[in-house]
Amino acid sequence: MAEALSALHDNLIQLSETIQESLSKAQYNPEEGTNVSVKSMLESLLPRKTSISNRTEGRRITEDQIQREIKDFSLCCAALASAQGSNHASLSWIPKGLSVTAVSAFEELSKAFSANLNAGKSTRIVELGVDCSLVSDDKKLVVELMPLVMPLLKASIKESSIDHLDDCDEVSAASARAPLAYAVVAAYQLRWFVTQVEQPHLGKLCALVIPCALTALDHWSPEVKGQGMISFIHLGKNVKAAEFSWYEDVILDTCCQNIASSDEIWHLVVEMSVLLVTCIHGSNPRSSWYERILNEMLNHLERQPKNKDRYTPWLQHIEPLFSSVGLVLLAHFRRIFPLFFQWMHSDNDQTLLLVLKRVYTVTKLTWIRNTPYVERLVDELAVTYKEAALRRAREEIRTHVIQILILLQQCKGLQFEAAWNKHRDDPNLTTLGPSFNTRNAAMVVQ
């Protein structure tokens, strides 16, 4: 056992030296107005050669010491690896090559950890309820570290969160307690650790991951929130509904509160909210959470109906929610269709196609029952068909328009015929006539 520990530690030091060499060469300028050095913080997490000299002098390195150094080294690698694509000043200075090196170093350490310490029998992994035999060697270390790193990351994020007891400006007070950079780095580390684990193992780690991710969502910084949202999106894709257990309501309530987020992360809150509510309440279309989340989103869309940063991601991600609630959508027609009608005049072809796809979905799910919008919808589709002549995606747009019109004919019958009569003699729509017959009804996408 002592030899295995020694070999693992030697491997750790070698990997650390590789990271340290690249990290020392990276150009870094601390953010203006702060004396915090993220680079120094990361360097402090790397184990030093001095621990080898201690061993040569007869002082045996203990398993606890090695575990502590592995934890710190892994936190450093997580920060460096997660920096790819970041535009935040705290991490954008990290070169892509260093991020790649950090990923490789962590993978190598994980394999060494599994081989030298026989991680398949790790007490910590077993206590989490994870079947070690099903965890690949390059992921065992991540799972092993979760109970150690999640509480640390949660505390680091919480340090600069808003304390509602503060009498002065909340954000200033939060920043005074702890620099924002620490919370940003911790949020990126959180996201990296969470996204390294997939089903079926991630569900066993919910009790560790969810409180930390919720703390990120409660933070005032959009950068921190965003990483928490990405973590929850990964959870929604890799965790079963039952595994969210007693966290269900607090998660969905936090989703509702975060729908008011800034434009830069609204695409994340929409994707997260839709994914989680459909995962947790997929079989219950009358769940009050569907109502709350959809209404909250519509509130913000109605306030800024021309904001592309709002309506484009909503159109991209809302489909699963529509499919889950089905006929319940009828209760939201008076809010949804006026928005659809505005967006059908977007000058962006891809946006228009998204609108047409969502209109088709709503029509298919509800058959537009008991609604005054049939005539208006037929009018808007006729205009869209004609205007498509000047668009690059004219054929695709017209195909979608025809599919919706055929579906309307099928489900509304005489009401559709009455609405279409005013357009029947339009010379720009004569090519549409043959579409409305039984043979061509097969065009409708099922």
pLDDT tens profile 234-244: 999 999 999 99
pLDDT of residue 440 exceeding 80, the answer is no
pLDDT of residue 220 exceeding 80, the answer is yes
DSSP 160-226: TS--TT-SS-HHHHHHHHS-HHHHHHHHHHHHHHHHT--TTTGGGGHHHHHHHHHHHHTSS-HHHHH
User: How high is the pLDDT of residue 31?
Assistant: 78
DSSP 236-263: HHHS-HHHHGGGHHHHHHHHHHHTT--H
User: How high is the pLDDT of residue 439?
Assistant: 43
Handedness of CA 399, 404, 410, 416 (dihedral sign): negative
User: How high is the pLDDT of residue 132?
Assistant: 76
Report helix angle 374-387 to 394-412, nearest 10. 160
Report helix angle 263-281 to 288-303, nearest 10. 160
pLDDT of residue 1 exceeding 70, the answer is no
User: How high is the pLDDT of residue 5?
Assistant: 76
Contacts 24+ apart (CB under 8 A), 85-93: 86/188, 88/184, 88/223, 89/31, 90/31, 90/38, 90/180, 90/181, 90/184, 90/185, 91/38, 91/184, 91/185, 91/188, 93/26, 93/27, 93/28, 93/29, 93/39
Higher pLDDT, 430 or 261: 261
DSSP-derived secondary structure letter, 326: G
C-alpha pair distances (Å), 245 with each of 210, 249, 250, 280: 11, 9, 11, 9
Mean pLDDT of 4-8: 80
Question: Which residue has tokens 């209760």?
Answer: 331
Read off the pLDDT band of 139 (50, 70, 90): confident
pLDDT of residue 44 exceeding 80, the answer is yes
Neighbours of 424 (CB within 10 A): 12
Mean pLDDT of 280-288: 92
186: which residues sit within 8 A by CB, 6+ positions away?
152, 153, 156, 157
CB 79 within 8 Å of CB 189: yes
> Is the preceding omega at residue 200 within 30 degrees of 0, hence cis?
yes
User: How high is the pLDDT of residue 273?
Assistant: 98
User: How high is the pLDDT of residue 171?
Assistant: 53
User: How high is the pLDDT of residue 120?
Assistant: 43
What number of residues does the chain have?
446
Rg (CA), the chain: 27
pLDDT of residue 225 exceeding 80, the answer is yes
In tens, the pLDDT along 358-383 reads 999 999 999 988 788 999 999 999 99
In tens, the pLDDT along 307-360 reads 999 999 999 999 999 999 999 999 999 999 999 999 999 999 999 999 999 999
Nearest to 340 by CA among 357, 362, 352, 355: 355
CB 28 within 8 Å of CB 66: no
User: How high is the pLDDT of residue 123?
Assistant: 64
Higher pLDDT, 227 or 114: 227
pLDDT of residue 199 exceeding 50, the answer is yes
Q: Lowest-pLDDT range, 54-63, 81-90, 134-143, 178-187? A: 54-63
d(CA 73, CA 368): 58
Nearest to 376 by CA among 319, 347, 415, 411: 415
d(CA 45, CA 271): 34
User: How high is the pLDDT of residue 49?
Assistant: 75
pLDDT of residue 442 exceeding 50, the answer is no
In tens, the pLDDT along 10-34 reads 999 999 999 999 999 999 988 777 7
Read off the pLDDT band of 130 (50, 70, 90): confident
Q: Lowest-pLDDT range, 90-94, 158-162, 225-229? A: 158-162
Question: What are the extents of the domains in the chain?
Answer: 1-189, 344-446
d(CA 224, CA 7): 38
Contacts 24+ apart (CB under 8 A), 172-181: 174/220, 179/34, 179/36, 180/90, 180/221, 180/224, 181/31, 181/34, 181/36, 181/38, 181/90
Handedness of CA 188, 190, 194, 196 (dihedral sign): positive
Helix (H) or strand (E) holding 290: helix 288-303
The answer to whether the pTM exceeds 0.85 is yes
pLDDT of residue 422 exceeding 60, the answer is yes
pLDDT of residue 188 exceeding 80, the answer is yes
Question: Which residue has tokens 């949020």?
Answer: 187
- Could you tell me what percent of the chain has a pLDDT over 90? 72
User: How high is the pLDDT of residue 350?
Assistant: 96
User: How high is the pLDDT of residue 119?
Assistant: 43
User: How high is the pLDDT of residue 17?
Assistant: 95
Most confident of 24-28, 53-57, 228-232: 228-232
Give the helix ranges, DSSP H, for 308-413: 308-317, 319-325, 333-343, 349-366, 374-387, 394-412
- Could you tell me what percent of the chain has a pLDDT over 70? 89
* Average pLDDT for the chain: 89
In tens, the pLDDT along 202-218 reads 999 999 999 999 999 99
Report helix angle 206-217 to 137-159, nearest 10. 40
In tens, the pLDDT along 112-128 reads 888 875 544 566 777 78
Mean pLDDT of 165-170: 52
Instruction: Give the alpha-carbon dihedral of 256, 260, 265, 267, to 10 degrees.
Output: 60
User: How high is the pLDDT of residue 388?
Assistant: 94
Nearest to 15 by CA among 87, 61, 60, 76: 76
Backbone angles phi, psi at 403, to 5 degrees: -60, -40
d(CA 328, CA 6): 63
